[in-house]
Amino acid sequence: MRVAKRLDRLPRYLFVEISGKIAEKRAEGVDVINFAIGDPELPTPSHIIEYMCEAAHDPANHRYPETAGLPQLREAIAGWYQRRLSVALDPNREVLPLIGSKEGIGHIAFVFIEPGDIALVPDPGYPVYARGTLLAGGEPYFMPLRAENDFLPDFENIPKDIVRRAKLMWLNYPNNPTGVTVDRPDFFEKAVYFARQHSLAICHDAAYTEVAFDGYKPPSFMQAAGAKEVGVEFHSLSKTYHMTGWRIGMVVGNAEMINALFRVKSNLDSGIPQAIQHAAIKALNSSQEYILEYNAILQRRRDKLIQVINQIGLRARVPKATFYIWASVPQGCTSTDFADKLLNEAGVAVTPGIGYGKEGEGYIRFSLTLPDDRLEQGIERLLSWQGRQK
Ligand SMILES: *Cc1c(COP(=O)(O)O)cnc(C)c1O
């Protein structure tokens, strides 16, 4: 058989590779401590699970769901945006539930990208923005996110001929992998202005707005004036409610973009299992207190780990949001060499920055989503590894 050429354009998915290396080490008998994967290990709050179990027993939820999701779910999403972010959304035209936001992030490329079209993609960045673009036959243009510019893209530095061919621009704050947040309130408005000027659509990925520390409340792209005219925001219950395994997210904003994505999706999938939609309704409509509890746990882990990271000769800023620490490795060492060194010499797995793009070179990413005792063990190993150096 002959598979399509488009698959040749797809590198292996980053975490498939890392999981392979970790599995190899484990097979050798090493009890690897895994800081590599950003996947909350704290359980989904139990009232959400209980509600889901009840819904699972109801035969009405055993049948095909609608691609557009339950009306009550779309209302719950709009209600949450109103309460948390003061953003008004029409639940029927400006909200679409997704089978996890990754699904929508991948599929929206098929709404905009034709062969030869360009999507502007942050580098470093979540791999799916570029991979969706490639699958649709387009080309990603990587906008460098650099420390000297607070890890924001510099729109004015994108070559004119690239901007002319671009259909779509991806943004993501709070940012994976850098942990950076948008602190300049005018940044999103600048993005809207740039998009209008060049007839671009903006896709903002807001997966981490609720994973924040020290009382900080990250903004949403939808709060920017004019955002709804040019773009959409992808969001997810995965990181907010520690629900990665249940696969549920949403996209909100521009009605035309949402309707176009619905047309793609309705031909490919049949929506989200309804018991999970009911769980999401419960999560969005009930008390948000446990988010604070979970964030307090992550914040304690952040504070412990960041100290050690700086102690062992890496350099990292304290993230105000996301459960990642983005640390620069010593000069003269590649991110992959350094990650391999930590895995082989300390039994500690981290993600090499190069996996998020060229600009990720020189960095590694630590995730805080491992149990406290494992984190402590990891810290001990890093310190004793440091003691064995030179
Ligand atoms: C985790 C993550 C997502 C995807 O989350 P879903 O579980 O698919 O909703 C999207 N974007 C970023 C930046 C992420 O880190």
Confidence of residue 249 (pLDDT cuts 50, 70, 90): very high
Q: pLDDT at residue 9 above 90?
A: no
> For the residues 322-336, what does the mean pLDDT come to?
95
Residues 211 and 232 in one domain: yes
pLDDT tens-digit readout, 67-88: 999 999 999 999 999 999 999 9
Residues 78 and 177 in one domain: yes
Residues 336 and 238 in one domain: no
DSSP-derived secondary structure letter, 233: E
Residue pair 326/147 in contact by the 8 Å Cβ criterion: no
Q: How far is the CA of 102 from the centre of ligand 1 (A)?
A: 6
Tell me what pLDDT residue 13 has: 67
Residues 295 and 275 in one domain: no
Structure tokens at 371: 């149990």
> Number of helices (H) and strands (E), helices first, in the chain?
14, 13
User: Is the Cβ atom of 233 under 6 angstroms away from ligand 1?
Assistant: no
Residues 205 and 268 in one domain: yes
Q: For residue 207, give the CATH number of its domain.
A: 3.40.640.10
Helix (H) or strand (E) segment spanning residue 295: helix 289-311
Residues 280 and 368 in one domain: no
The residue out of 285, 300, 332 marking a domain boundary is 285
pLDDT tens-digit readout, 294-315: 999 999 999 999 999 999 999 9
**Ligand 1 atom 11 nearest Cα:** 207
- Beta strand extents in 90-149 (DSSP E only): 95-98, 118-123, 139-144
Closest residue by Cα to residue 339 from 12, 25, 10, 121: 25
Residues 305 and 198 in one domain: no
Residues 254 and 146 in one domain: yes
The residue out of 239, 256, 285 marking a domain boundary is 285
CA separation for the pair 353, 359 (Å, rounded): 8
Q: For residue 370, give the CATH number of its domain.
A: 3.90.1150.10
pTM over 0.85: yes
User: Is the Cβ atom of 352 under 6 angstroms away from ligand 1?
Assistant: no
pLDDT tens-digit readout, 208-238: 999 999 999 999 999 999 999 999 999 999 9
The residue out of 245, 269, 285 marking a domain boundary is 285
Q: How far is the CA of 205 from the centre of ligand 1 (A)?
A: 8
Residues 228 and 297 in one domain: no
User: Is the Cβ atom of 100 under 6 angstroms away from ligand 1?
Assistant: yes
Residues 299 and 256 in one domain: no
Q: What range does the domain containing 362 cover?
A: 5-43+290-389
Q: Tell me which of 77, 205, 326, 356 to substitute to probe ligand 1's pocket, judged by most ligand atoms within 8 Å of the beta carbon.
A: 205
Maximal C-alpha separation, the chain: 65
Residue pair 123/356 in contact by the 8 Å Cβ criterion: yes
Residues 281 and 318 in one domain: no
The percentage of residues in the chain with a pLDDT greater than 90, rounded to a whole number, is 93
Q: Tell me which of 13, 14, 99, 102 to substitute to probe ligand 1's pocket, judged by most ligand atoms within 8 Å of the beta carbon.
A: 102
Structure tokens at 333: 């060492």
> For the residues 46-66, what does the mean pLDDT come to?
96
pLDDT averaged over the chain? 95
What's the structural domain count of the chain?
A: 2
Residues 105 and 149 in one domain: yes
Q: Find tokens 């704290």 and name the residue.
A: 42
